[in-house]
């Protein structure tokens, strides 16, 4: 996306920090394990940590985590939910850590917001030689018909989908991570990740996505109304709680 759109959308989450913390999904544990597998040690930087969705899984896996998040409202939610984690103000373009101070840099649902021309060398700076850079994204599995229909009705605003990830998004992100002289060519993997949802909680999740956050109120209300109407009609989602089929996609590279 264009730089001005990236800045606008990337800075839109603070106003819905509590809803983000409540409704956004965590990450498949196997995906996080795979991202960390080659890391030379336990020190992990969760970069663009938001409200701590990835941070919590890293802590549960025994990592020594530092969370860096630029938005004060998002960071406050992280500190409220995970008071034991060191949370710092900063960004991917200006990481407040010393050189070679972490064994892995992970970014959950965040790497696409970074200015990689600046952030790439900065992430390489804080990593030890052989350290790991990994981006993780939750993607809705639109190989399932009703998920594909939600994507169609939402005009691409609801979430990254598997088709988008598989067809072009992964390639774009791979290119962004392919920084010769700094990192090895990235590897890619996907891991199943199912979540229980209701129509109401799925709508609340969709409402935290940046495309909706930057819409005017009338357009956002109309779009959410169309999605709600479909969820109320579809047999898979109309009867109460249902399973939302997802995957966690991972891109992983090694610091040269």
Provide mean pLDDT across the span 104-121: 93
Instruction: Give the per-residue pLDDT at 215.
Output: 82
Quote the CA–CA distance of 139 and 249 in Å, as a whole number: 7
Instruction: Give the per-residue pLDDT at 3.
Output: 66
CB count within 10 Å of CB 71 equals 22
Provide mean pLDDT across the span 183-191: 94
Are 102 and 44 within 8 A, CB to CB?
Answer: yes
Are 248 and 170 within 8 A, CB to CB?
Answer: no
Q: Indicate whether 238 pLDDT > 80.
A: yes
Instruction: Give the per-residue pLDDT at 158.
Output: 75
Provide mean pLDDT across the span 211-229: 91
Instruction: Give the per-residue pLDDT at 211.
Output: 83
Q: What is the pTM of this model?
A: 0.92
Instruction: Give the per-residue pLDDT at 204.
Output: 93
Which helix H or strand E contains 242, and what residues bound it? strand 242-254
Q: What is the pLDDT of residues 18-66, one digit of tens each?
A: 998 999 999 999 999 999 999 999 999 999 999 999 999 999 999 999 9
Quote the CA–CA distance of 21 and 52 in Å, as a whole number: 8
Work out the pLDDT band at 152, boundaries 50, 70, 90. very high
The mean-pLDDT minimum among 84-88, 114-118, 130-134 falls in 114-118
Instruction: Give the per-residue pLDDT at 1.
Output: 60
Instruction: Give the per-residue pLDDT at 167.
Output: 79
Q: Indicate whether 2 pLDDT > 70.
A: no
Work out the pLDDT band at 205, boundaries 50, 70, 90. very high
Instruction: Give the per-residue pLDDT at 42.
Output: 98
Q: Indicate whether 199 pLDDT > 70.
A: yes
Work out the pLDDT band at 110, boundaries 50, 70, 90. very high
| Positions of E strands within the chain | 43-47, 64-68, 86-88, 102-108, 127-140, 187-197, 242-254
145 token code pair? 């018909």
The mean-pLDDT minimum among 55-69, 133-147, 169-183 falls in 169-183
Which helix H or strand E contains 163, and what residues bound it? helix 162-164
- How confident is the prediction for the chain on average, in pLDDT? 92
Domains of the chain: residue spans and CATH: 3-143+159-196+245-254 (3.40.50.150)
The percentage of the chain sitting over the pLDDT mark of 70, rounded to a whole number, equals 96
Are 71 and 176 within 8 A, CB to CB?
Answer: no
Quote the CA–CA distance of 106 and 189 in Å, as a whole number: 15
Are 254 and 131 within 8 A, CB to CB?
Answer: yes
CB count within 10 Å of CB 30 equals 14
Q: Indicate whether 213 pLDDT > 90.
A: no
Q: Indicate whether 10 pLDDT > 70.
A: no
Instruction: Give the per-residue pLDDT at 9.
Output: 64
């Amino acid at each position: 996306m264009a730089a001005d759109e990236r800045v606008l959308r990337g800075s839109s989450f603070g106003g819905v920090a509590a809803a983000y913390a409540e409704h956004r999904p965590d990450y498949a544990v196997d995906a996080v394990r795979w991202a960390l597998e080659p890391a030379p040690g336990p020190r992990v930087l969760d970069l663009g940590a938001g409200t701590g969705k990835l941070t919590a899984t890293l802590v549960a896996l025994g990592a020594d985590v530092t969370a860096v998040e630029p938005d004060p409202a998002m960071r406050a939610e992280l500190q409220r939910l995970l008071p034991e984690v060191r949370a710092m103000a900063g960004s991917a373009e200006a990481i407040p850590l010393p050189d070679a101070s972490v064994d892995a840099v992970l970014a959950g649902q965040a790497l696409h917001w970074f200015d990689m021309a600046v952030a790439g060398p900065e992430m390489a700076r804080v990593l030890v030689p052989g350290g790991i850079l990994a981006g993780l994204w939750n993607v809705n599995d639109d190989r399932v018909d009703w998920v594909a229909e939600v994507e169609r009705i939402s005009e691409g605003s609801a979430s990254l989908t598997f088709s988008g990830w598989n067809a072009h998004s992964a390639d774009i992100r791979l290119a962004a991570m392919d920084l010769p002289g700094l990192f090895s060519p990235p590897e890619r993997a996907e891991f199943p990740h199912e979540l229980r949802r209701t129509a109401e909680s799925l709508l609340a999740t969709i409402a935290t996505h940046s495309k909706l956050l930057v819409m005017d109120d009338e357009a956002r209300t109309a779009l959410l109304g169309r999605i709600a109407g479909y969820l109320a009609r579809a047999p898979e989602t109309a009867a109460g709680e249902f399973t939302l089929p997802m995957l966690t996609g991972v891109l992983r590279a090694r610091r040269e």
